[in-house]
Each structure stands twice: as C-alpha cells, then as structure tokens.
C-alpha cells in the first residue's frame, strides 16, 4: 500500500507531464499560457494574503501553487526545447537558389538498395560568400551509391537547399508520419541525387555517437568472423547489440506473431539481464566497507558500457537511466518507494528530452516495469510450487503475464494485434535470451583467443537456430496472431482506469474503487455498442493515394471490397501502411479482392455479378453501388459507340486506360472524373488540358477521394 509521502516525485511528475503534453500540442492550446500565467500570479497573491491570516487552514494552497508552477515549467521548458520556435531555425533564413546547406549526421545512416536515409542537424547555410549559423533537424534521402556506405555519425554533408515539407497523410486514417517526425523535431526533408551532395569527413569529430556506431559495426563483424551468418547473424545483432537493419520482413513477422518481438528490441529486458548478472557477480563485496558504492560503480559502468555497445539507441538509454536510478537508490539506502525511483528516472529523461513522452517505446517500457512490480507478486503467489524447475517456469510465466497485462491496451491501440501464444513462446525465448546475450558479450571479450571463441560462437549459433526455428513454429500454429483489432483511445483510457481502480481496491479494500472499475467496463461496452451502430451505416466509395498503383475501396456496413492490382495486393507492407488502418478504424471484415485485370475479361464477368447483398453490382468495368454508377477505365474502350453517351457518376481513369478524348465523350457523360494514383502528374496535366471545364479530382495531387454513398 502506498501513501502520498512515499511518492513525492510521482506527485511532482504528473503536473510536469501534463504541461509537457500541452506544449507539444501547443497549436491547440494557444490560450493556455496567458491564462495559466494570470492564474498563477493571482493564486500567489491570494496565498500571501491568506497565509498571513490563517496559515494552517489554507496550507493546501501551497501544494496547489507548486503543482501549477510545475505545470507552467513543463509547458515553457518544452516550448523552449522546440527548435521550430528559434529565430535561427534553418527554414526561417532565406536561402538563395544557388545557396549551400551544411549539416552534421546525427546517427548512423540507414542504407537501402535504392535510397539512404540520413538524419541531419543543420548547422548553417551559405548565400554567396556569407554564412549564417542555424539550428534544426531534417531528413535527407540520398540515392544510394558507394559513397553512402562511407557516411558515419559526426560527418558533415554539404548539399543543395531542396527542402520539402514532410508530407501529411494522403489516405484516410493513414499513419501520420508528419506528426511522428514532428515529435522528433523534424519538419523538413529532401531527396537528393548523387551529384547534389558532398560528404565532408569530419576527422575532428570525436562524438560519443560516432564512436558507438563504429564500435557496434566492429562487434557485428566479430559475429561474422566466427561464422554466425544469415538469420542467426541478424538476430544476434539485434538481440545483443540492438542492430535490427539486417532482419528481413518474414523473420520480423515471425517474432511479432509469436509475441517475442521484445527480445529483438534492446531495452529493459536486456539491460535488466546485464544489471542482474553484474549484481550477482559482485554479491561478495556488498557487505564490505564501501562495498555498496564499489558495487554501484561497477554496475553503472556495466550498464553504460552496454549502452555504448548498442550504439546508444534511445531505448537502451531509457533502460540504462531507469536501472541507474534504481542502483543509486539501493546503494544510498534511500527508504523510498520503487515508484518514486521510477518517477525520478522518468523526470530526468523528460528534462533531457521532453518529446520522449510521445515515443511508444518510452510508454511501453515504463508500463511494463510498473506491471511487473505491481502484479508479479500477486500472480506468482497464486501457486505455491516446491519443484524448482516448475517454479522457474511459473516465475517466467508470472513475469510475462504481469508485463502483458499492463502493456496490452497500448499495444492494441498502436498495433491492432495480439499474439495468442505469448506465454508459451516466452517460456523458451526468455531463457534463450538470458543465455545468448551474456554469451555474445563474452564472445567479444575472448575474440582474440580464436580456439575458445570458435567453440563459443558455435554454441551461440546453435542456440540462435533453435530460437529462430521455435519462433517460426509458434507463428505457424493456428490463430497465432489475432489481427485488425479495432481499439480506440477512449477504450484504452477506460481499460487503464479499470486496472488502476482494481489495484486501488486490492490495496485499500474500498468498494468504491471496485464500483468505479465496473463503471469503466460499462462505459467501454456502451462505447462499443455505439461503434457497432455506426459501422452499420457505413457506405463509402474511396480511391486511395498509393503512387503507381490503383486501389479502389467499396465499403458497405462492415463489408469490404478492394479493387486493385495483383502487384499491390501482394505488397502487404503498402496495404498495411496506406489502407489497413482505415479498415480497422471502421471495423471492417477481411477484404474481398477483385483484380483490375479480371474486370475487363468479359468471358469471366459477362453476366451480372453481385456482391455485398443488394448494394453492389459489377459487370465488366461498370459498377453499380447504392444507386451510383462508376466506371473504371483501365483498358481500351469498345469500338462500337452507344446511341447515347452512357451516364456514370464517377469515371475513374487509371494509367492503363487508353485515352482518346473524342471517344471518351461519345461513350460517357459523367459528373466527376477521378485520376487515380497510378496516373503520373505529367499525364494527368495533359489530360486535364483536353478536358477543360470538367469536375476533376487528381488523387496524386489532392490526396485520396472519398464520398459517402
């Protein structure tokens, strides 16, 4: 049971966090700062007056004022850390057409076959012979060539000022990449050819990030040197060093489906293993004079050296900070609650980077730790097991359940899926990770001793083969992954409030908390009923914006027909990024797919084709949908013209549609023409000149087309 006195940092953290969040969404709360300033000043004056009259009776106002000040501190501190507001932000300085921009590479670039992604800190711009110092980050997408492989963190790049805004979503409910990058203080991007940038090797740069990146590359080469290759190398690099670029989509999907993805993302689990191993190795000095401080020194050295090995990735920095605070609290004999220590580490991380609160990894890391601390003792105590092996299995199961119980609402909100066999997979995955991680670090240490290192590497390789095969086996089990789960922000809050009230009921035994938990469930069920009624009124015609592809969606109630290319339907990543979230948002069933190539084959669809009850009729390229007529022009028009033009409400033109404008007008009369995203900008502009005075929607330029029918 917790009291307020045990968690002072938690009480201070909450108003600070709310101030940070309001500042991040400052555009929506422009009135907030002046209003709060007036409120604080007024409160302070009242407090001075009241305290002089009856200090004890109105003592609570001190706490109110402190919380309001923390509010304001969080708000102002975050605004001050937002580089967009700085007067020397690089886009606020006028750059001539022939100007030059110089920026420093912040982290190791991501090199792909066609393009290389570089995060850059823009240091300055030059107009003629005049240099101006600037601030701000941006993304560069470079056409991949041999020079791209030589770029390291700390290097300088000189390039032409071809800035573009990070694009807004161009499809309904699509992942908002622009907002995601704004949380990382990035608003601009540029696409550069090989002759539009120059690499300036910064030999004087001794940044820790540069050194960490170089060290990680060297360590990965040690794995390769000792014949750890292919999938095993990819998993070893991710599990031990946090380098995930070599993991292919299929293997990543297997780990995700089996509920084992967390072992590939170096974070709390991995840092916790290092913390546990070093603590156990140094147990003998704990009771000696200054033993706790010696142990603390080596613990902190081990944690931050491991963070350096993993390239100082954000997830490892979070975990290392969290465990560092725990180690310091233990060594200094602070009689404080674990939650107070946890809140202190979160406060510190938010002071370093307030925008970290918007990162999914940050949220899941802290929730997982809270879940283990709160629920593990309760779950583990349910069974009293004398057999050590079975007890160990039950202990791992309890840890997995505790973490999953608290993180799964947020996982459903962000990822819309749930791994059914996560308990089963973690019984094997976690013990293997406990062996592979320290064994991998040991391999780095003994790599000079070839005989020992060779046999150690063989053992690691065999363990990784077992791990990969087991994960792939779990993925192959029936219903291993429940996908496309529709889960809203409101339901997420209700579920967390339910867990909070249940915890309070367990601690304080007050039935008010229990009834509050029931109210949360009732509100969630009521909201779900409301959504179900909303889904029954769905009737939409959508033309998505997926460059170079055609994607036409017909939605009626919860039923779903997608008309597209075979190539796009096979590209699951594009479907997931551009379309899937919209289907989940509307609670739709699995899509029924009709390929464009089959529409015009009269021998297959010569008769009237009916789907989706009585709402949708398809005959060749003609579609009747809830009383509206649609024609998809993706081939050559018949040579025989009708006596009178055929009326259609929507004429969808694809890149494969043969264009003869006189024939088009003789064949159709229409309300609206839609150029889908397979039609290039140049072709769309050419056609628009020929079809003047028509109502035209160009999907690539204007974004998706959607209409309620």
pLDDT in tens, 375-433: 888 888 888 888 888 888 888 888 888 888 899 899 899 988 889 988 888 888 888 88
Q: What is the pLDDT of residue 200?
A: 86
Pick the most confident of 80-84, 203-207, 474-478.
Answer: 474-478
Instruction: Give the confidence band of 606 by pLDDT, cuts at 50, 70, 90.
Output: very low
pLDDT digits (tens, 9 = 90+) for 99-108: 889 999 988 8
Place of tokens 């949380």: 183
**Contact status, residue 585 vs residue 486, Cβ threshold 8 Å:** yes
Q: What is the pLDDT of residue 491?
A: 92
Instruction: Give the confidence band of 554 by pLDDT, cuts at 50, 70, 90.
Output: very high
Question: Is it the case that residue 359 has pLDDT exceeding 90?
Answer: no
Question: Is it the case that residue 251 has pLDDT exceeding 60?
Answer: yes
**Contact status, residue 634 vs residue 599, Cβ threshold 8 Å:** yes
Q: What is the pLDDT of residue 468?
A: 93
Question: Is it the case that residue 89 has pLDDT exceeding 80?
Answer: yes
Q: Which helix (H) or strand (E) holds 35?
A: helix 32-54
How is residue 118 annotated by DSSP?
A: E
Mean pLDDT of the chain: 84
> For a pLDDT cut of 70, what percent of the chain falls above it?
90
pLDDT digits (tens, 9 = 90+) for 154-194: 889 999 888 899 988 999 999 999 989 988 889 999 999 98
* Mean predicted confidence (pLDDT) in 466-494: 91
Q: Which of 366, 359, 367 is nearest to 325 (CA)?
A: 366
Instruction: Give the confidence band of 471 by pLDDT, cuts at 50, 70, 90.
Output: very high
CA angle 664, 667, 673 (to 5 degrees): 50
Q: What is the pLDDT of residue 667?
A: 84
- Cα–chain center distance at 563: 29
Question: Is it the case that residue 603 has pLDDT exceeding 50?
Answer: no
Instruction: Give the confidence band of 114 by pLDDT, cuts at 50, 70, 90.
Output: confident
Residue with more model confidence, 40 or 362: 362
What are the DSSP calls for 656-674, one per residue?
TS---HHHHHHHEEEEEEE
Question: Is it the case that residue 95 has pLDDT exceeding 80?
Answer: no
Question: Is it the case that residue 500 has pLDDT exceeding 50?
Answer: yes
* Range in 207-221, 524-538, 560-574 with the lowest mean pLDDT: 207-221
Pick the most confident of 20-29, 284-293, 515-524.
Answer: 515-524
Q: Which of 636, 678, 463 is nearest to 552 (CA)?
A: 678
* Range in 285-289, 400-404, 494-498 with the lowest mean pLDDT: 285-289
> For a pLDDT cut of 90, what percent of the chain falls above it?
21
Rg (CA), the chain: 30
Q: What is the pLDDT of residue 22?
A: 86
Residue 350, both tokens: 């938010």
609 phi/psi in degrees, rounded to 5: -110, 125
Q: Which of 525, 500, 526 is nearest to 513 (CA)?
A: 500
Q: What is the pLDDT of residue 51?
A: 59
Question: Is it the case that residue 362 has pLDDT exceeding 90?
Answer: no
pLDDT digits (tens, 9 = 90+) for 437-466: 889 989 998 998 988 999 999 999 999 999
Q: Which of 340, 310, 311, 312 is nearest to 328 (CA)?
A: 340
Find the DSSP H helices in 82-182.
177-182
pLDDT digits (tens, 9 = 90+) for 624-683: 898 899 999 888 777 777 788 889 999 999 988 777 777 777 888 888 999 999 988 888
Q: What is the pLDDT of residue 492?
A: 93
How far is Cα 336 from Cα 678, in angstroms, rounded to an integer?
A: 62
**Contact status, residue 119 vs residue 106, Cβ threshold 8 Å:** yes
Supply the pTM of this predicted model: 0.82
Q: What is the pLDDT of residue 460?
A: 93
Q: Which helix (H) or strand (E) holds 611?
A: strand 609-611
């Amino acid at each position: 049971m917790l009291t307020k006195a045990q968690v002072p940092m938690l009480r201070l953290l909450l108003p600070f966090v709310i101030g940070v969040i309001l500042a991040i969404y400052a555009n929506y709360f422009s009135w907030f700062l002046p209003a709060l300033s007036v409120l604080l000043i007024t409160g302070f004056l009242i407090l001075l007056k009241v305290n002089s009259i009856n200090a004890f009776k109105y003592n609570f106002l001190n706490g109110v004022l402190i919380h309001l000040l923390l509010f304001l501190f969080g708000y102002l501190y975050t605004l001050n850390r937002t580089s967009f507001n700085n007067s020397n932000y690089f886009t606020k300085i006028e750059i001539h057409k022939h100007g030059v921009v110089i920026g420093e590479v912040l982290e190791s670039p991501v090199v792909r076959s066609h393009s290389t992604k570089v995060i850059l800190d823009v240091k300055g711009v030059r107009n003629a012979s005049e240099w101006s110092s600037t601030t701000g980050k941006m993304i560069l997408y470079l056409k991949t060539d041999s020079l791209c492989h030589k770029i390291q963190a700390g290097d300088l790049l000189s390039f032409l000022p071809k800035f573009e805004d990070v694009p807004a979503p161009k499809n309904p409910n699509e992942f908002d990449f622009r907002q995601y990058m704004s949380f990382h203080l990035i608003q601009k991007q540029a696409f550069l050819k090989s002759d539009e940038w120059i690499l300036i090797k910064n030999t004087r740069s001794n940044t820790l990030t540069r050194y960490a990146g170089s060290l990680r590359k060297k360590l990965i080469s040690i794995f390769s040197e000792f014949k750890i290759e292919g999938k095993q190398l990819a998993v070893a690099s991710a599990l031990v060093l946090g380098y995930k670029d070599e993991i292919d989509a299929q293997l990543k999907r297997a780990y995700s489906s089996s509920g084992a993805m967390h072992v590939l993302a170096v974070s709390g689990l991995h840092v916790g293993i290092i913390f546990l191993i070093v603590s156990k190795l140094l147990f003998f000095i704990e009771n000696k004079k200054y033993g706790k401080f010696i142990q603390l020194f080596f613990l902190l050295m081990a944690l931050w050296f491991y963070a350096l090995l993993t390239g100082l990735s954000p997830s490892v920095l979070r975990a290392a900070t969290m465990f560092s605070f725990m180690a310091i609290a233990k060594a200094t004999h602070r009689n404080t609650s674990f939650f107070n220590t946890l809140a202190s580490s979160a406060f510190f991380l938010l002071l370093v980077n307030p925008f970290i609160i918007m990162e999914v990894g940050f949220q899941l890391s802290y929730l997982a730790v809270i879940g283990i601390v709160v629920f593990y003792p309760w779950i583990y105590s349910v069974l009293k097991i004398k057999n050590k092996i079975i007890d160990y299995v039950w202990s791992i199961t309890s840890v997995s359940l505790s973490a999953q119980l608290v993180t799964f609402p947020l996982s459903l909100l962000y990822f819309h899926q749930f791994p059914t066999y996560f308990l089963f997979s973690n019984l094997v995955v976690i013990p293997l990770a406990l062996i592979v991680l320290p064994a991998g670090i040991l391999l780095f240490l003994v790599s000079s001793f070839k005989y020992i290192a060779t046999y150690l590497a063989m053992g690691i390789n065999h363990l990784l083969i077992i791990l990969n095969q087991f994960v792939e086996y779990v993925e192959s089990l029936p219903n291993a992954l429940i996908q496309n789960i529709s889960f809203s922000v409101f339901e997420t809050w209700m579920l967390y409030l339910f867990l909070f009230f249940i915890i309070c009921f367990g601690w304080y035994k007050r039935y008010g908390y229990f009834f509050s938990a029931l109210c949360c469930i009732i509100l969630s069920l009521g909201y779900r009923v409301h959504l179900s009624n909303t889904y029954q009124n769905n009737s939409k015609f959508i033309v998505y914006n997926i460059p170079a592809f055609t994607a036409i969606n017909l939605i009626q109630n919860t039923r779903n027909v997608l008309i597209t290319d075979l190539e796009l339907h096979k590209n699951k990543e594009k479907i997931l990024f551009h379309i899937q979230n919209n289907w989940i948002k509307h609670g739709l069933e699995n899509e029924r797919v009709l390929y464009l190539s089959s529409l015009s084959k009269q021998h297959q669809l010569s008769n009237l084709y009916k789907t989706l009850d009585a709402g949708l009729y398809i005959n060749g390229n003609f579609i009747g949908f809830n009383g509206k007529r649609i024609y998809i022009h993706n081939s050559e028009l018949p040579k025989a013209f009708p006596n009178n033009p055929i009326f259609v409400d929507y004429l969808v033109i694809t890149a494969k549609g043969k264009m003869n404008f006189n024939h088009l007008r003789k064949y159709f009369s229409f309300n609206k023409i839609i150029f889908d995203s397979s039609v290039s900008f140049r072709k769309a502009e050419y056609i628009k000149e020929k079809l003047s005075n028509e109502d035209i929607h160009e999907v690539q330029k204007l974004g998706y087309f959607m209409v309620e029918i």
